Amino acid sequence: MDLPAIAALLRERARLRNRDSWSRDEILAHQARRLGELRAYAMAHSPFYRELHRGLDEAPLSALPVVTKATLMERFDDLVTDRDVRLAEVERYVPTASATDRFRDRYRVAATGGTTGRRGVFLADPREWTQILASYARAYAWAGVAAGLTSRIRMAVVSSRDPSHQSSIVGATVQSRFIPTLRLDASQPIDEVVATLNEFRPDSLVGYASILRILAEEQAAGRLRVSPRAVMSASEVLTDGTRERIRSAFGVAATNVYAATETAGIASECRLGHLHRYEDLVIAEIVDEDNQPVRDGEYGARTLVTVLFSRTQPLIRYELSDHVMALDGACADGLPFALLGGVEGRQEDVLTLAGIVVHPHVFHAPLERVAVAGWQVIEEGGRLRVLLARPSAGIDAAAVAGDLVRALESVGVHGVVVEVDLVDEIPRTAMGKAPLVRRIPNDSPQATRS
């Protein structure tokens, strides 16, 4: 980062810190003001929103139409507010760009991995990118870890090195003498990752929950020898079992960061371990299948996000397939931001077995207590394959299968075949993720078992 960019980021971080001491009413007033500004800007500069929101100027946010990724990509040229930007040009740019490049020397371009369907691309101008970086810096501040001009921090990011992945772009952007940054790919051989981390000695370890769990096992075995002040988990479900492994191995609690390529930070944990929403940056509506709000304490079917700082590519009631739960009440840390009770995963993680909807938490309890470096449940034509990575000696695959059958029966699912395979590694996506739950269609080339 150059000095003007660093100065802009420090100013934005200071603004965010100042809001930590606001009252609840001040947060909501700020949110309403920013929402009004966003809607006015979108109507004035985006042909797509002029059409979509016609006649809805006075309507509340909850009455506006939902925008899906498919719609966003189909109407990309009309949705963006820079009228010279065209999707075809952006898509030609992405495959050849490095993590430090900028489209038209102005826009950072991040792409989603396409695990929920069509790949999406998202642009951020310099001001928006500063907001994105500041939102991630907030996660450190709330976790009680100082980072800045007077607090040098060595950061290692183990996720994806794909130059279109947001974590890769963030890591490349913040690299400086104040924040020396190491970027590793979660799909690299684990011995290479361990050796590089031992040499780098990070103060902060950032990664997918699945790779952090493996690194905790490596630390416990004595092969990894690092002493991070912070361990930040993002982009995958952080289970209680993985939390405990991280705390035991590194001596610090993992901080859960709920973020998305489209939004950057949506919520993160405070020092007391409560997940606070970034309500001054993103409005996250937790809704059911009919896009109606769900009660606090219940998981929604999806989350509709409105990114209050988005201007180049306004996102108003944009659909994420995340299952999220809101909580009522306040936290003793004094932050004025509302709470989330948990992030369970995506709609794609929910299976229907024998006609019954099975949420991922059904698998967590029986599998988290198994001594393995990772696990994955794969649904293939109504039967389940369960992968257990690098199991400890004495793991009884048949017993694990039996535990899973009983867990399924407890929610009304009977007669499903469960097979358990012991493997060296959990397969990862092109972006380096290892989802806990996968579904393989019957007509997929991978569906080879009868």
- Range with the poorest average pLDDT among 37-46, 158-167, 216-225: 158-167
Share of the chain above pLDDT 90, in %: 58
pTM: 0.83
**Residue 252, CA atoms < 13 Å, CB-side half-sphere:** 19
Taking the mean position of all CA atoms in its chain, how far away is CA 187? 18
State the residue for tokens 């994955």.
Answer: 376
pLDDT of residue 243: 92
pLDDT for 448 equals 39
Query: Which tens digit of pLDDT belongs to each residue from 40-58?
Result: 999 999 999 999 999 999 9
Angle at 433 between CA 193 and CA 168, to 5 degrees: 65
Q: Where are the domains of the chain?
A: 3-346, 350-440
Tokens of 298: 């219940």
Say which CATH architecture domain 350-440 belongs to: 2-Layer Sandwich (3.30)
Helical H segments across 224-312, by residue range: 240-250
Q: What is the number of other CB atoms lying within 10 angstroms of the CB of residue 238?
A: 24
Closest CA to 298 of 322, 325, 330: 325
What pLDDT is recorded for position 148?
Answer: 62
pLDDT over 70 (residue 444): no
Q: What is the pLDDT of residue 349?
A: 65
Measured distance CA(414)–CA(407) in Å, rounded: 10
pLDDT at residue 389 greater than cutoff 50: yes
Say if residues 200 and 154 touch (Cβ distance below 8 Å).
yes
The tokens describing 354, both together, are 């024998």
What distance in Å separates the CA atoms of residue 249 and residue 222, rounded to the nearest whole number?
10
At a CB cut-off of 8 Å and minimum separation 6, what does 365 contact? 407
Distance between CA 367 and CA 241 in Å, rounded?
9
DSSP letters of 321-343?
A: -EEEEEE-S--TT---S-EEEEE
Residue 135 sits at the vertex; the CA angle it makes with 110 and 434, to the nearest 5 degrees, is: 55
Intrachain domains 3-346 and 350-440 with the same fold: no
Q: What is the pLDDT of residues 18-48, one digit of tens each?
A: 999 999 999 999 999 999 999 999 999 999 9
Instruction: Specify the fold of 3-346.
Output: Rossmann fold (3.40.50)
Q: Is the pLDDT of residue 447 over 50?
A: no
User: What is the predicted pLDDT for the residue at 144?
Assistant: 84
Please report, as a single letter, which amino acid is at residue 68: T
